Amino acid sequence: MGRIIASEQPSAGQNTYLSQLIEQGVLTTADLTDADLGEQAKVDGARTASALGKIARMLEPGTDGSDALRTLAARGIIGSVEYWKKNAVAGRTCDGPKIAIIIERASSRIPTPPPASAKAVPLKPTSFADLRDSYDIVIAGAGTGGCGAAVQAARMGRSVLLIEETDWVGGQMNAAAVTSMDEGLAITRERGLYRELCGLIKSYYDPLGINSETAYQHRHPCVEPRVGQQLLLKMLSDARGAAGRLDLVLRSKVTRTIKTGQTIEGVEVSDGANSRSIRSRILIDATEWGDVIPLTGARYRSGMTTSDSLDGTKAIQDLTWTAVVKQYPAGVPEALRLTSPPPGYATLGKLFQKALTAGKADDFNPPIKGNPWHWNWFIGYRGMPDSSRAPQGRIITRTHLNFSNDFHASVADLEDPAHRRLTLDGAVAKTLCLAYHMQTALGKADWAVADDEGYDTPYNRAQMDALIARHPEFAPFKASLYHFPVMAYARESRRIIGLHTLTAREIERKPGQPIQFPHTVALGDYAVDLHGSMKPELLEKGLDRAEDIPHKFGERGLGPFAIPFESFVPETIDGFLPAEKNFSQSRMANGATRLQPHTLNMGQAVGAIAALSVAHGIQPRALDPTLVQRVLIDAGCTLAIKPSKTRWGTPEWKAYQLSQLGK
């Protein structure tokens, strides 16, 4: 759906959410008025049905009246169709407060208009030999956190070097293929760089007639990894600008830090064949595992242990090596047919049988609790748009495998490269077995690993060839492995010990209330979700409590929570900041902050902290956090937990953000 053109102006004092729908031409004042949303209001059923139909068509163009309620339920706008089926009809009335909830939810799904960066040409990497001798800011890791930091800092006029170990940009979102956006609530889409990314996703798929809101049964935005990478490169290119303030180098890594006393002043960078020293004012670790932290001398947490007393046997969150799969309408290429069971399938196949079933072709309903997931629910869980073919309506034809293939990980995987490598080999093998199960036991012989995502790169070939050298039994599956993502989805990394450690109690949304820190610089939304780690014995002593553990997803709430400036500042090390899953937080808090929308905007906050520190010639710990907040609010970052009734981005909205922070 293209951007909707405003058809009329709202009346003064109108409900903000309703006025947004009116300005975008979804509704008119003849459909609903502010009075219709009042506490005691009763609205004519036929008029309500008409409004619901228009909202449904905003979400799915072409939806007719008979399908409107199904569409609204499928997209999470209404919880059940029964009330509306009974009351949104001629001769009956609907409660105004119930309609108001729908209006609020629908307004959060209004398409974000294309940002200026949509016109940018994707950034080309800089060769290792052409890197400068010094940059204001050096960032290790071009995942969402690293990209967020680089974009914000470069837009503030600072020179930035972004270093990526692989040959892919986007970290867990693109390189690991977790492109289903894990939003706590759809209001996340109004914030900072994530808002810009949502606008870029829409601007790519709308001209193709493809709805990009495909993930989680057509409720969350999603993007094909190759497209997601190009969109991040557009953002980086736009930030680089004509002055060339941002360089990106691939297949390189930080191997050592240059340090005077407790201050990081530069790094040694290697591309595997050559090394060079590069000076920096601020070094940022935005790697997926927090691999630069130990090089700085900063104290950190690793699982439930600390760098003072590491214990490699302790668990961290399960990781997943996903795989993008798609339907091949003309038949799966012969090389991608998995004709024999991969090693380990004899055991894993039994686990998959308990978790997954083919189901009925026309069944799109949630599986009955306790039953296996059926095929349509399985592929709709991480459903992707598919730009390789004409739109298929609600039918998903491309997804990624990220269910039933989590793999146990431990502190040893953070600290010991050899141990990590063997664990990752096991994760790859498990997903290969799941792909085989898909083609055989589930009968989806027309599905296989997607061969058009661009993962068949020199870096990926080298690592998969090395895997096969370690485990020759995987040689028959080489063609599929070359098209696997280039990295694992690592949910937990090392975490610095900072001036403040964010805990689960501080972000709890049910039954408690999250803390609105005076120095809030980012918001999260997701539920506390620790894969394979919801056990009291794995909690960090003095941080989280057994009673903080949720017993089911979302039990302790969804929605906005605050992350303070002090969680990004190390205890004693200067010239250094974290910008990924590695900031100062407890393990349980990490279960809610580790998602792509949050890491992108947390990275944006760190980019602002770094840029201001350089501009003022001081260390981050000496920086006035209110300066950071004002920069971020001007950049469209929401920092107030309590929703504003004023329009996003307006002077009134900015003033509200500051008022909620006590400014």
List domains and CATH numbers for the chain.
16-107 (no CATH), 116-317+491-660 (3.50.50.60), 321-481 (no CATH)
Question: Mind listing the pLDDT tens digit for each residue in 114-136?
Answer: 999 999 999 999 999 999 999 99
Q: What is the pLDDT of residue 47?
A: 95
At 196, list the tokens: 């810009």
Question: Mind listing the pLDDT tens digit for each residue in 633-654?
Answer: 999 999 999 988 888 999 999 9
User: Are the beta carbons of 123 and 248 closer than 8 angstroms?
Assistant: yes
**pLDDT of 386 higher than 90:** yes
| pTM of the predicted protein model | 0.93
Average of pLDDT values for 280-308?
A: 98
**pLDDT of 3 higher than 50:** no
Angle 84-87-92 from CA coordinates, rounded to 5°: 160
What confidence category does residue 663 fall into, taking pLDDT thresholds of 50, 70 and 90? low
What confidence category does residue 1 fall into, taking pLDDT thresholds of 50, 70 and 90? very low
**pLDDT of 223 higher than 90:** yes
User: Are the beta carbons of 290 and 570 closer than 8 angstroms?
Assistant: no
Question: Mind listing the pLDDT tens digit for each residue in 537-587?
Answer: 999 989 999 999 998 899 999 999 999 999 999 999 999 999 999 999 999
**pLDDT of 9 higher than 50:** no
Q: By three-state DSSP, how is residue 524 classified?
A: strand
Which residues on adjacent β-strands are paired with residue 266? 258, 279
Q: What is the pLDDT of residue 360?
A: 92
Angle 391-488-554 from CA coordinates, rounded to 5°: 75
Angle 69-73-76 from CA coordinates, rounded to 5°: 140
Average of pLDDT values for 190-215?
A: 95
Q: By three-state DSSP, how is residue 82 classified?
A: helix
**pLDDT of 466 higher than 60:** yes
Average of pLDDT values for 350-376?
A: 93
**What are the residues whose beta carbons fall under 8 Å from the beta carbon of 5, sequence distance 6 or more?**
25
Q: What is the pLDDT of residue 646?
A: 85
Q: By three-state DSSP, how is residue 7 classified?
A: coil
**pLDDT of 2 higher than 60:** no
**pLDDT of 243 higher than 80:** yes
**pLDDT of 14 higher than 60:** no
Average of pLDDT values for 417-444?
A: 98
Question: Mind listing the pLDDT tens digit for each residue in 585-599?
Answer: 999 999 999 999 999
The number of residues in the chain equals 663
Question: Mind listing the pLDDT tens digit for each residue in 39-52?
Answer: 999 999 999 999 99
Question: Which 8-state DSSP code applies to residue 585?
Answer: B
**pLDDT of 61 higher than 90:** no
Rounded Cα distance, 578 and 97, in Å? 43
Angle between helices 625-634 and 596-616 (to 10 degrees): 120
Which residues on adjacent β-strands are paired with residue 447? 327
Q: What is the pLDDT of residue 17?
A: 87
At 523, list the tokens: 């918001």
Work out the percent of the chain whose per-residue pLDDT is above 90: 86
Q: What mean pLDDT is reported for the chain?
A: 94
**pLDDT of 198 higher than 70:** yes
Average of pLDDT values for 154-160?
A: 98
Rounded Cα distance, 387 and 658, in Å? 42
User: Are the beta carbons of 317 and 414 closer than 8 angstroms?
Assistant: no
